[in-house]
Amino acid sequence: MDKQRLLAKLQAFSSVSYPHLHLFLVRNMRNSSFKEVREALKPHGRFFYGKHRLIAHALKSSGCYQGGEKLASLLSSSKGELGLFFGTEEMDVASLKELLEPFQEQLDYARAGFPSPTTVVLTQSSPLVNEETGEQLSATIEPQLRAAGLPTRLQGGTVLLAVDSHCVVNEGDVIDANQARILKTLGYRLSPFRIELLAHLHDGKLTQL
């Protein structure tokens, strides 16, 4: 979206219709989760999500919000996946947090680069299964697991660990591509989707949260 179109869209979000303007950060973005939140909050406001430097420029240029330049400066100097929520009259910070609560901490498969929140250790005591479904892993997947670094073996079509125990990832370690592949195959959802509110602009007053 170019600057002119973005500016026109922001100007349509006036402080009259949407007096509460919130700056938010998305942790572990998942399009499906964010789409669910967007649809649920439609009656209460509008999300604006994208390149934050471009959004900050458009917000500063639009002049639609008193104090908008302060929020634009905060937006342009912040890092991460940021966006704005234009809230209706009842959408103060407490009300928005309440509406967001049911969607917080939804777990998905961790991507490479995500710090693991827990330690995952496998043992040889039983066939390898998908922890989410409880089903034993298919023999056809065994070569892929071995190639990703998981010591496995086949016994009569059953996928077993080839060692007594194996640590897939330690708590706090940054997950690499092979570990992410193994964890997904084994059904471990370690990555929580979350929307954090960073700042609130209302009647020209900017409050950092």
Q: Contact at 8 Å (CB) between 169 and 113? A: no
pLDDT in tens, 141-156: 999 999 999 999 999 8
Q: Which helix (H) or strand (E) holds 87?
A: strand 81-87
**pLDDT on residue 113:** 87
Task: Please tell me the class of the 120-188 domain.
Answer: alpha beta
DSSP assignment string, 93-112: HHHHHHHHGGGTTEEEPPPT
Q: Contact at 8 Å (CB) between 120 and 127? A: no
**pLDDT on residue 60:** 76
Tell me the pLDDT band of 32, cut-offs 50, 70 and 90. Answer: confident
Query: Is the pLDDT reported for residue 6 higher than 70?
Result: no
- Phi and psi angles of residue 18, each rounded to the nearest 5 degrees, phi first: -130, 80
Tell me the pLDDT band of 31, cut-offs 50, 70 and 90. Answer: confident
**pLDDT on residue 41:** 93
Distances 96 to 30, 93, 102 between C-alpha atoms, Å? 20, 5, 11
Of the candidates 49, 52, 68, the one whose C-alpha atom is nearest the C-alpha of residue 60 is 68
**Average model confidence (pLDDT) across the chain:** 87
Which range (4-13, 89-98, 184-193) has the least confidence?
4-13
Domain boundaries, the chain: 3-108+192-208, 120-188
Which range (11-20, 26-35, 137-146) has the least confidence?
11-20
pLDDT in tens, 159-177: 999 999 999 999 999 999 9
**pLDDT on residue 177:** 95
Q: Determine if the pTM surpasses 0.75.
A: no
> What fold is seen in the domain 3-108+192-208?
Alpha-Beta Plaits (3.30.70)
**pLDDT on residue 29:** 79
Query: Is the pLDDT reported for residue 49 higher than 80?
Result: no
**pLDDT on residue 87:** 93
Tell me the pLDDT band of 28, cut-offs 50, 70 and 90. Answer: confident
- Please give the DSSP secondary-structure letter assigned to residue 137: P
Q: Is 120-188 in the same CATH topology as 3-108+192-208?
A: no
**pLDDT on residue 148:** 95
**CA–CA separation, 22 vs 47, rounded Å?**
9
Query: Is the pLDDT reported for residue 57 higher than 70?
Result: yes
Query: Is the pLDDT reported for residue 109 higher than 80?
Result: yes
Query: Is the pLDDT reported for residue 198 higher than 90?
Result: yes
